[in-house]
Amino acid sequence: MTAAATIARILADPRFRDAVATMEREHDRTVADIVALTEIPSPPFAEERRAAAYLEMLRGHGLEEVEQDAIGNVMGRRRGSGNGQTVVVAAHLDTVFPAGTDVRVRREGTKLYAPGVGDDTRSLAVNLAFLRAMDAAGIRTRSDILFLGDVGEEGLGDLRGVRHFFLKGRHRDKVEAFFTVDSPDVDRIVTGGIGSKRYRVTFRGPGGHSFAAFGLVNPAYAMARAMLTLSALAAPDAPQTTHCASVMGGGTSVNAIPNEVWMEVDLRSQSAAELARLEAEFLAGVEAAAAAENAARSTREGAVVAEIRPIGDRPAGHTAPDAGIVQLATAAVAAHGFTPRHEYSSTDANIPMSLGIPAVKIGSGGRGGRGHSLEEWIDVEPVESLRGMSASLATILAVAGMEEA
């Protein structure tokens, strides 16, 4: 059966219609859950309170094996009829916003304004709505579905929640497919994970008086050389590959050769091989830059040394366009009147993609914008919201194998 036919059959199934009707009936509850969860701050590396609240919600929805793992992820299982093969439906608990950010939700008509409301708090609530809808409609699946609220998706969190889940978690060998429900828009299906490597490089030298110690090595010149080397590294359009010297600082006084300067760099690629090539060239360039400075000026008081510290490492990966999960997501989105697009991005799905596990990012429905800004908003207008939720639920059920009535 084609993906489109599979989706069509699900959409025509009275139980699926019943499930959507449940979501429609319970829409206010879903919105209330979005507000409640959004107003529990969940800064990077401090997701504990929201995780505890979500754990109780998962428990309250009757899941089995509700638990929190060692890294802080919370999860629970909806048993399938099969042998325990598992489809993960995840949303991330963390936001980009630091502790102290005002996370109260402001409502204007059908729009909700609050930091983190769309990325990714809405998805946490929507996944619960999926669960209630399946239960109310008596829908069973062949695969188990593991609902996951994971930590550390954003920024320096560096995907640590999902990384732990797949590298050390007890469910890792059973996962046959992975969805991250992340942000509202359902038309943008993320099928590729941009790999990234981030470094903070500190160049240290002896320092000294700008006049009296003139002629000594200057770590700023080593850094400048490393930057220019980076700027000239190959960055193909396909697979898309980029590099950037982003943030920098150092030195103490205008009349002193700096003791220490530093920079942060961001390296990315759609291709793991390209990223590895880029990383190797960058790291070699750093060492060569320090060596060039040590050759250009005096090291009698000490040489310039570069300290290279990784501050981010997200694996590249992708799910092939002809993989079932991509075909089914695409068909479900199209069947709901959207124009599906396949994109590369950096999401929780990077991890399973890098491990060869079928994975995509799908949407929580409705509209939204200004993610990662204090003006972040979503629209919970019911018709548009339910259209997107229906598309994502159909995708999940198709991949998990909705049982015949």
Q: Which residues bind its own copies (CB under 8 A)?
A: 44, 96-98, 101, 154-156, 194, 196, 198, 206-214, 218, 220-221, 223-225, 227-228, 231, 235, 240, 242-259, 261, 263-266, 268, 296, 301, 311-312, 345-346, 370-374
Least separation in angstroms between residue 222's CB and its own copies is 10
| One-letter identity of residue 168 | K
173/375 with CB nearer its own copies: 375
85/299 with CB nearer its own copies: 299
33/376 with CB nearer its own copies: 376
172/200 with CB nearer its own copies: 200
> To the nearest 10°, the Cα dihedral for 131, 136, 138, 140?
0
Least separation in angstroms between residue 134's CB and its own copies is 31
Least separation in angstroms between residue 328's CB and its own copies is 25
What is the rounded CA–CA span in Å between residue 231 and residue 265?
Answer: 11
390 in Cβ contact with 336 (< 8 Å): yes
CB atoms within 10 A of CB 285: 19
15/297 with CB nearer its own copies: 297
What is the rounded CA–CA span in Å between residue 35 and residue 14?
Answer: 31
Alpha helices in 121-271 (DSSP H): 122-137, 160-167, 219-231
329 in Cβ contact with 360 (< 8 Å): yes
7 in Cβ contact with 335 (< 8 Å): yes
23/275 with CB nearer its own copies: 275
DSSP 3-state assignment of 310? Answer: strand
All residues at 6 or more sequence positions from 368 whose CB lies less than 8 Å from its CB, including other chains = 117, 118, 119, 122, 183, 184, 185, 376, 377, 378, 379
Least separation in angstroms between residue 337's CB and its own copies is 24
The full length of the chain comes to 405
What is the rounded CA–CA span in Å between residue 48 and residue 72?
Answer: 7
236/401 with CB nearer its own copies: 236
174 in Cβ contact with 84 (< 8 Å): yes
68/298 with CB nearer its own copies: 298
Chain-centroid distance, C-alpha 213: 49
